[in-house]
Structure 1
């Protein structure tokens, strides 16, 4: 017959196991019923959508990062590096598109559009203008449809970019677009993206086939603010390894980011394309793309490009 001490110990062990199992069941049930947190990001900014509006996961170029616990999805980040389309039900009703901007040129509007109304919108994180547009088929077309859209342009003059928040006016109201714009806030990697985009704008100012002293001056002036001293020194020694332009056309117009991945403490890897442009039929058009991977590190409080590799 067991003594009282052994019985007491056995009882305690059973009680502890029971409590642990109960706690695990509670945690499992909680996680299983917890709605995953979805963070939406387009370009350098996070934002929220009005109730009933969702992301079109078939938008080209979307990057989805998932965080799971015990194989259960608890959070997800959906990033559109150039655009993101919106759905109500199964219908595409609008989206956000990032387009280039020059302060001395008119805003880029959709083709075959007529402006019905225009007004400034105050109280947002940057200069903003709201347009109501009527969009119709080309004049040479036999089609007779028309579509009314609202476009809220968020103008980031320093970055030379506009975030076009747009929607079918019969499905997304002006207040819906303003609500989306009001939710804009810088994403965790926005400084990294800004450095890469600004560097891309500098590429056209550096001629790789110029006399070395000219190339050196151009590279120091235009690349110096965005790259590390070591990378700049490497390019000055070997100009052939540096990005830049050779001739008047085509030229490196910009860098388009495809993905940004955290690669360590204060380090990111950026997959991107150098977009070469040329003049065709009186207007600028993309000629081809050069795939690259950039490493961006935080050095003495500044984000700088420390490596650039061609794929």
Structure 2
């Protein structure tokens, strides 16, 4: 699978493995993968649990896998994690619940730390001039609606959930997009083109199925928008300071914090305290530089309203500098 800056090979002993639906782009044939994930379904090929336990990693993550806890709110049957260099084996059931929810997030974080990138949980789109807008927000804050409506209204899709940033340039991580039943996607859902998401009621699909124009692989970050849609509160689209944006992104966008990967990062550094804290210090500096170099906004807007959407996108497409002044802008 092609993740833009790196590739991952996913293999399974199941002919139909739902994890594949979460990737939107395959790597060219013959590409040597940067990482490999081997998923073995124990209903298809049983293995002795005691043997697997003996082979399993001694990390905290492996211990949690054996208890049926994978990452964040994703749980399942006990699973056994065996790591050999850049290849990870996982034995269990319904292992699609481990691929995007854990492995991809950890692999992206390791890659970012090793190569000087910042791994963020963020959506994003670009305008015709190549400038990128990153979207960050709490769960149910309207990030997906904002991204979807922008891309249906002329912006070019960049990324859905993950982005790697270095020196102000945002690099997409190609993936399927999570969508809810809505008039725009009703036909695709009814024709069973879209795959049901891990969580009932939602679906996933490659962005090429959803939006006009091919997705972009990268863009220079011009805007950072914190989406916080709450119709019961006063609506507005306003500039915020870089300091405010940095504080928010430190909790809601930083991958190590947001996905609970601190123990994995420490293990990645072999338990080396100095290397671990050095990486954390670098991540903080990168995040501060990102928000200082961008225009930062807070959005409580209804992007389904055409007039509001037009005003917001016109503001984001304008070429003003970052600045730090807070105040109402647009609708």
TM-score by length of structure 1 reads 0.23
Normalised TM-score (structure 2): 0.22
Higher share of residues assigned helix: 2
Larger radius of gyration: 1
